[in-house]
Structure 1
Amino acid sequence: MRKILIVGAGQSGLQLALGLQSHGYDVTLMSNRTPDEIRSGRVMSTQCMFRTALRHERDLGLNFWEGQAPRIRGLGVSVGAPDHSRAVDWLGELDGYAQSVDQRLKMAGWLETFAQRGGQLVIHGAAVGDLDFFAGRYDLVLVAAGKGELVSLFERDGARSPYDAPQRALAVAYVHGLEPRPEHPETEAVRCNLIPGVGELFVMPTLTTSGRADILFFEGVPGGPLDAFQDVRDPREHLARTLELMERYVPWEHARATGAELTDEGGTLAGRYAPVVRRPVGRLPSGGAVLGVADVVVANDPITGQGSNSASKCAASYLADILDRGGEPFDEEWMTGTFERWWGTAQHVTKWTNAMLAPPPDHVLRLLGAGGRAQEIADRFANGFDDPADFEEWFYEPEKADAYLERVTA
């Protein structure tokens, strides 16, 4: 039986650990927190998982909350005008529903499942020295902890990383009491509110520790008016500032948030990080090699909501490659090839995300504007969140965009 060590208990690490466990591998999983500590801690993300990522969970029988989480069937886009009205406002229909489950629920539950199924769970914040000690005792070591000292093992890939500084300041609040959007009160949807030159507000339904809720997620251009949370320490002050900014910049969303209250004391999060692609193989002081997983090696800004989706797709891709390897050694050549096979999918996420961080060119503004007149465009943009590779055909180049617009409007 092949022995595998996975360091990190997020979406990718846990999904991969449970998948390998189901195929009979001897898996050790290292987490820096217990399930109870995760469940009672601060929110970790703004996850919304689309059809393909949800299918990967379903294939492994890990969709424990599918019957409870809101079924998100639409994705809407609004673009603010200078007078704070909406210059653009439309709703695209998803081909398959999306869902958001608070990672405090999911990761705690998956950790408990892994242990109940006989997996070796080690509660320890691993450092480089720990991996150096353990590496020779396992056939493969995977690093799925996207923060902390271990990330330093993986060299930045400058050719695939156009940014060297954060492009957005992030601020998240989980709330109860948000009213339905009056334009589509019966349809659960993610709403993307774009404020040119200022940033974005995303609103999405979720399942949290206290039931159904909504996530209010600001992405502010650094140094701009939405970059306003660095001095906030109190969760209630965080929500008050969120609502103030909503009232000023997205009054159509604020109108349904006047009764919003935090879900819990841990329901806020703020920070920033630079998007980066790193080389997939980390070299330990003793010379051993470890393989980076998901956002350890491809960390995109959350503006396109791809974090948990990419993590799920990475775990599924790595699982298939590990199973295909059989009894052959997991050498550095195999590690690099395994990453590159996943990069074939991940590169589209990175390209799209980086494009959305930049000021939109004229042809993108034309496409977004046309979404309100042509449902096909609205639907295609919405479903690009599940398959970003489709944007290659119509979104990036003015010639392709204009040809697509001409065909649809004809």
Structure 2
Amino acid sequence: MRKILIVGAGQAGLQLALGLQSNGYDVTLMSNRTADEIRVGRVMSTQCMFDPALQHERDQEVNFWESQTPRIEGLGVSVAGPDGSRPIDWVGHLDGYAQSVDQRVKMAGWMETFAQRGGQVVIHGAAVSDLDWFARTFDLVLIAAGKGELVSMFERDPERSPFSTPQRALAVSYVNGLGPRPEHDFLAVRCNLVPGVGELFIMPCLTTTGPCDILFWEGIPDGPLDVFQGVKDPNEHLRLTLELMEQFTPWEYERAAKVELTDAGGTLSGRYAPTVRRPVGELPSGGLVLGVADVVVANDPITGQGSNSAAKCAASYLSSILEHGDRPFDREFMQGAFDSYWEQAAPVTKWTNAMLMPPPEHVLGIIGAGMGSQAVRDRFANGFAHPEDFENWFFDPERAAAYLALVNAG
């Protein structure tokens, strides 16, 4: 039986561990926190997962919370005017619903399931020096911990990483008491674009206390939304969130004026530079480790693809490992496994990096066209589930014009 070590207990690490375990591999999972510590800790992300990523969980039969989690059936876009108005406001319908499960719920539950099924869980914050020994003990070592010292083993890929500094300052609040949007009677992710300032995303979620909503600001660094650094008090964090909503997105503030945090750990802030890294890390002893998900492809959350990409990476790596059989997990295998995943990750990275920049004229035209066309709205919304489709109509002005002409003619 082949022995595999996975360092990191997030979406990708745990999904991959459970998948390998169900296929008869001897898997050890290393986490710096226990399941209980994760469950009572601070929120870790916003994690809105669209249908293709959710399907990977269904395929492994680890979609334990699907029946309890709010079903997100649409994705709406609003653009703020300088006077607090909404010159653009529409919603597209998703072909398959999306869902967001607080990672404190999912990761704690998955870790306990992995252990109950006979997997070994080691609670230890691994350092590079530890991995030297592990690389000699296991057939394959995968690094799925996207922060800290271990990431430094993976060299930045400058050709795929156009940004060297953070492009957004991030601030998340999990809340109860948010009122409905009167424009539609189904649940939707709401994307509020404030030109030159940043974005506010609002999405339904399942947290440790039940259904809730997430308020998520993405602010251009040094701009008016970049005010959360150093804020430690969760209530102060929420107060700032609401003040900014009242100023920049008053239509959202109207339904959020009476919200409360779900719990004391329901806030998160930070920033990081979007980075693609080379997938193979080399240890001081010469041993090799393979980077997983946001260890090697860390995109900004502006397009909501983090947990989706993690699920797709785990599924892709699982397939590569199963297909590899008993052959050595050498550098060639590791690079090939990443290259297979990159076919899915490349469109996400291109789209996400584009959305971080001021929109070109033809993209403004697409967003504006959504006001008069349900087809445009739906295609944009479903791009969050299938980012590869944006290549066909979104990036290139001529393709965008041809698509909009076709829509108008129809």
**TM class, shorter-length:** over 0.9
1:300 and 1:49 map into 2 onto residues whose CA distance is 15
How far the C-alpha of 1:82 sits from its partner, in A, is 1.2
Pairwise mapping of residues 237-248 of structure 1 onto structure 2 (< 5 A)?
Answer: 237-248=236-247
Alpha-carbon deviation of 1:87? Answer: 1.2
Gaps of 5+ in 1: none
Partner of 1:387: 386
Q: Superposed, which structure 2 residues align to 1:143-222 within 5 Å? A: 143-184=143-184, 186-222=185-221
1:55 and 2:55 aligned: yes
SS at match of 1:29: strand
**Cα deviations by residue, 1:359-393 (Å, 9 ceiling, x for unpaired):** 00000000001111110110000000011000000
Deviation sequence 1:224-245 (CA, Å, 0-9, x none): 0000111311000000000000
- Counterpart residue number, 1:117: 117
Structure 1: distance between partners of 2:98 and 2:396: 28
The corresponding residue for 2:351 is: 352
How many angstroms does 1:302 deviate by?
0.1
**Partner residue, 1:126:** 126
- 1:288-318 per-residue CA deviation (whole Å, 9 max, x = no partner) reads 0000000000000000000000000000000
Aligned: 1:101 with 2:101: yes
> Residue in 1 aligned with 2:292?
293
Tell me, in whole angstroms, the C-alpha distance in 1 between the residues paired with 2:26 and 2:297: 27
Kindly provide the amino acid, as one letter, of the partner of residue 222 in structure 1.
Answer: P
The Cα of 1:47 is off from its aligned counterpart by 0.6
Q: Does 1:40 align with 2:27?
A: no
TM-score, normalization: structure 2?
Answer: 0.99
| Alpha-carbon separation, structure 1, partners of 2:133 and 2:325 | 25
Cα distance in 2 between the residues matched to 1:68 and 1:372: 33
Q: Tell me the secondary structure at the aligned position of residue 54 of structure 1.
A: helix
Q: Work out the CA distance in 1 between the residues paired with 2:124 and 2:87.
A: 51
User: Helix, strand or coil: the match of 1:99?
Assistant: strand
Q: Partner of 1:77 in structure 2?
A: 77
Structure 2 equivalent of residue 259 of structure 1? 258
The reply on whether 1:316 has 2:315 as its aligned counterpart is: yes
Amino acid at match of 2:339: E
Residue type matched to 2:164 in 1? D
**2:407 corresponds to:** 408
Cα deviation for residue 45 of structure 1 reads: 0.2
Task: Tell me how far apart the structure 2 counterparts of residues 189 and 227 of structure 1 sit (CA, whole Å).
Answer: 26
Q: Measure how far apart 1:128 and its partner are.
A: 0.3
Q: Distance in 2 between matches of 1:99 and 1:230?
A: 29
SS of residue in 2 equivalent to 1:121: strand
- In structure 2, stretches of 5+ residues that fail to align are none
Which residue of 2 is the match for residue 234 of structure 1? Answer: 233
C-alpha distance in structure 2 between counterparts of 1:402 and 1:87, whole Å = 22
When the two structures are aligned, how many residues end up with a matched partner? Answer: 409
Q: Secondary structure of 1:407's partner?
A: helix
Q: Offset of 1:21 from its aligned partner? A: 0.1
2:135 alignment partner in structure 1? 135
Alpha-carbon separation, structure 2, partners of 1:232 and 1:112: 33
SS in 2 for 1:90: strand
* Structure 1 length-normalised TM: 0.99
Deviation per CA, 1:233-271: give whole Å up to 9, x if none: 100000000000000000000000011000000000000
Cα distance in 1 for partners of 2:371, 2:114 equals 46
Question: Residues 145-172 of structure 1, C-alpha deviation per residue, up to 9 Å, x if partnerless?
Answer: 0001000000000000000000000000
**Shift >6 Å, 4+ stretches:** none
Listed one character per residue, the Cα deviations across residues 99-148 of structure 1 (whole Å, up to 9, x for unaligned) are 00000000000000000000010000000011111111111000000001
User: What percentage of aligned pairs have identical amino acids?
Assistant: 73
What whole-Å deviation, never above 9, does each CA across 1:159-205 have from its counterpart, x for those lacking one? 00000000000000000000000111x20100000000000000000
**1:365 alignment partner, SS class:** helix
